[in-house]
Chain A
Amino acid sequence: MSDIITLKGINKIYGTTVKTQVLYDVDLSFGEGTFSSIIGASGSGKSTLLNIIGTLDQPTSGEVSISGRNTREMDKNALAELRNRTIGFIFQFHYLLPEFTARENVLLPYRIHDVHPPKEARDWADELLNLVGLSKVANNRATNMSGGQQQRTAIARALVNRPRLILADEPTGNLDSDSTENIYDLLRNINARFGTTFIIVTHDQRIAEKTDRIVEVKDGKIHLDIIR
């Protein structure tokens, strides 16, 4: 199994006058199609690590390779394109565009590289909405949906470009326990069906235990790395 993500000697220091080091020499890689979690206390650096993996943040030193491509040599536009094509993001908050319907929100990442999605893409969006159980509210504005529905829309949105990697930062942090359960079943299902790699940041031990690999970050270092 080849690695989709490889981190080598990642250090992250914030600030210029008062320097705060968040990550110390992190070496980490994730295999294609795996379902992993990153856990740690708040402030441990787990979100920073996820943002660096997702190219939203740059490490102070060290290298990030995604599908074998070193991101250090890429400019902002190339990184944007890489994110658009390869990575799907799910955040704690859904960040749907309230002016657009669920279906339109799902299609947005596709429209970033092709403003007029062909029929196949539209059908795929509908299939994804069906998959997350939202066919009935596909034409609702984002504001006319429940919290669980909004988050599931965000998941469908993350999948629309068939990314090889999904990065999820506390994806169920705002949801009740039933919805949380549903969402995890859904993510698992997608992982099994499409072979999408998942990296989920969470502070919830119970959720982490459902993943195949648990990476624990403590004080900016990899404290535990359990593959089950």
Chain B
Amino acid sequence: MRLAFSIALRFLKSGKGQTLLIALGISVGVAVQVFIGSLIQGLQASLVNTTIGSSSQITIRSESDERTIPDWQRVVYEVKLASPDVRYVSPAISGSAFIEYEAGTEPILLRGFNLADSDPIYKYGAALYEGRLPERTDEVIIGRDLSEKTGIRPGDKAFILLPAGDAVRLTVSGLFDLNVQSLNRSWIITNLETAQNVLGLDKRVTTVEMQVATVFSADGMGARIAEVLSDEDLVVDNWKDLNRSLLSGLNGQSVSSLMIQVFVLIAVLLGIASVLAISVVQRSKQLGILKAMGIKDRDASLIFVFQGAMLGLLGGALGIGFGYGLLQMFTTFARNPDGTPVVPILINPGFIALSGLFALVSAMIASVIPARISSRLNPIEVIKNG
């Protein structure tokens, strides 16, 4: 242990009130940082999850005349080959139609999936609140809003009118609620075979849809998949290109959160710097005699760097504790009527540790000014003035 360290420690210990006050100042800064950072991260994660967590993040469609993909098995194979980051991939069919019921007709979107493969993407298994998933051909499930509007219940027949003029009868086996009104009102979900039969697609599909592990790299991954695909008519869309405004919103949020954190940090830094600078002036006579007694300039300045580091460490630890407590309080007390938190907070240990580290580093940067004053202090000036 260096002398500078033991002097620094003694200085801090002897001024307990002052030390605690600075540490509290730093800790408030760190707590605000941890709280706002976690809040924004949680908000963004929840927003992204709500927007694209239950939908296709990369979609392959065809621009051929028929707008269909004949050899979809090959496409699925090529997708898996192109990127190991693809988590779920499923062939899918979309076709517009109308449903006819007692009071009139409603436009619908007939969606055919390979049910086992696509359930992890759309999670309609979990969204099913009545009945069961389609098991036989000609069985479908419909959304809550469509069911309420048309009065069609599980076990009833749905009368589907196709644009070409044909009509089919499908059996409703269950009802789903995907929490998105437009889907609940228009989607009719069935298996691939039924959709192919109804829409006359033979063995073809209209899209291949997938979810990826790292959602924010969907654009790069989409480009890579596009390179690999052998069918020239296929185009690859990704959610980022289709959700520009959401992305710029998220970006704006990140930047403003960062700005708040930076300014909090600057305030903390200035606070520490000014207190330590005052402390140098307060102790200039003692520093002067230490220098006369032979302490080197470097050690004289290290006293304040150590003080800064210890204050940063103490304040950082306290701040992480406060921030964490604040997050817990927020998730415990700020709840929706159904018991879920208003904002699902993301507790990211890496981010919290980084906030603590920032406090430590900024406290040390703040100590540079007093350290320089201390280093430049000339014992003669001090002793003469005394």
CB A148 to nearest CB in B, in angstroms, measures 18
Query: Which residue of the partner chain, among A81, A84, A99, contacts B11 with CB atoms under 8 Å?
Result: A99
Query: Which residue of the partner chain, among B3, B14, B285, contacts A115 with CB atoms under 8 Å?
Result: B3
Residue of A nearest to B299 (CB): A112
- Tell me whether B386 is interfacial, beta carbon within 8 Å: yes
Query: Which residue of the partner chain, among A92, A100, A112, contacts B293 with CB atoms under 8 Å?
Result: A112
**For residue A43, which residues in chain B have a CB less than 8 angstroms away from its CB?**
none
- Main secondary structure on B side of the interface with A: helix
Instruction: Verify B285–A95 contact, CB threshold 8 A.
Output: yes
Instruction: Verify B294–A83 contact, CB threshold 8 A.
Output: yes
What size tier do the contact residues of chain B reach? 20 to 34
Task: Encode B296-317 as 1/0 by CB contact (under 8 A) with A.
Answer: 1101000000000000000000
- Tell me whether B6 is interfacial, beta carbon within 8 Å: yes
Instruction: Verify B383–A113 contact, CB threshold 8 A.
Output: no
- Tell me whether A171 is interfacial, beta carbon within 8 Å: no
Instruction: Verify B291–A80 contact, CB threshold 8 A.
Output: yes
Within 8 A of B (CB), among A77-128: 77, 80-85, 89, 91-93, 95-100, 108-109, 111-113, 115-116
**For residue B11, which residues in chain A have a CB less than 8 angstroms away from its CB?**
99
- Tell me whether A181 is interfacial, beta carbon within 8 Å: no
Instruction: Verify A97–B3 contact, CB threshold 8 A.
Output: no
**For residue B295, which residues in chain A have a CB less than 8 angstroms away from its CB?**
80, 84, 112
**For residue A89, which residues in chain B have a CB less than 8 angstroms away from its CB?**
289, 292-293
Instruction: Verify B10–A100 contact, CB threshold 8 A.
Output: yes
What size tier do the contact residues of chain A reach? 20 to 34
Instruction: Verify A115–B292 contact, CB threshold 8 A.
Output: no
Instruction: Verify B294–A95 contact, CB threshold 8 A.
Output: no
Instruction: Verify A115–B383 contact, CB threshold 8 A.
Output: no
- Tell me whether B223 is interfacial, beta carbon within 8 Å: no
Task: Indicate the member of A84, A85, A97 with the most B CB atoms within 10 Å.
Answer: A97
Q: How far is the CA of A91 from the CA of B385 in the complex (A)?
A: 12
**For residue B6, which residues in chain A have a CB less than 8 angstroms away from its CB?**
111, 115
Q: A85-B294, A108-B293 are in contact. Are A115 and B2 (CB under 8 A)?
A: yes
**For residue A81, which residues in chain B have a CB less than 8 angstroms away from its CB?**
294, 296
- Tell me whether A223 is interfacial, beta carbon within 8 Å: no
Instruction: Verify B380–A51 contact, CB threshold 8 A.
Output: yes
Instruction: Verify B1–A115 contact, CB threshold 8 A.
Output: yes
Instruction: Verify B10–A99 contact, CB threshold 8 A.
Output: yes
Instruction: Verify A109–B293 contact, CB threshold 8 A.
Output: yes
Q: How far is the CA of A80 from the CA of B294 in the complex (A)?
A: 4
Instruction: Verify B383–A56 contact, CB threshold 8 A.
Output: yes
Instruction: Verify B289–A95 contact, CB threshold 8 A.
Output: yes
CB A128 to nearest CB in B, in angstroms, measures 15
Instruction: Verify A56–B294 contact, CB threshold 8 A.
Output: no
Task: Encode B276-290 as 1/0 by CB contact (under 8 A) with A.
Answer: 000000000110111
- Tell me whether B154 is interfacial, beta carbon within 8 Å: no
Instruction: Verify A83–B386 contact, CB threshold 8 A.
Output: no
- Tell me whether B379 is interfacial, beta carbon within 8 Å: yes
**For residue A97, which residues in chain B have a CB less than 8 angstroms away from its CB?**
7, 10, 286, 290
Instruction: Verify A95–B286 contact, CB threshold 8 A.
Output: yes
Q: How far is the CA of A224 from the CA of B164 in the complex (A)?
A: 127
Instruction: Verify A108–B290 contact, CB threshold 8 A.
Output: yes
Instruction: Verify B3–A112 contact, CB threshold 8 A.
Output: yes
Task: Encode A159-179 as 1/0 by CB contact (under 8 A) with B.
Answer: 000000000010000000000
Task: Beyond A76-B296, A97-B10, A99-B11, list 11 extra A-B contacts (CB 8 Å).
Answer: A47-B384, A56-B383, A80-B294, A89-B293, A92-B386, A93-B386, A97-B286, A98-B14, A109-B293, A112-B3, A112-B293
> 16 A-B pairs, CB-CB below 8 angstroms?
A56-B380, A80-B295, A80-B296, A81-B296, A83-B293, A92-B386, A95-B286, A97-B7, A97-B290, A98-B286, A100-B10, A108-B293, A109-B294, A113-B294, A115-B6, A169-B383
List 3 A-B pairs, minimum CB-CB distance, nearest first. A84-B294, A95-B289, A99-B14
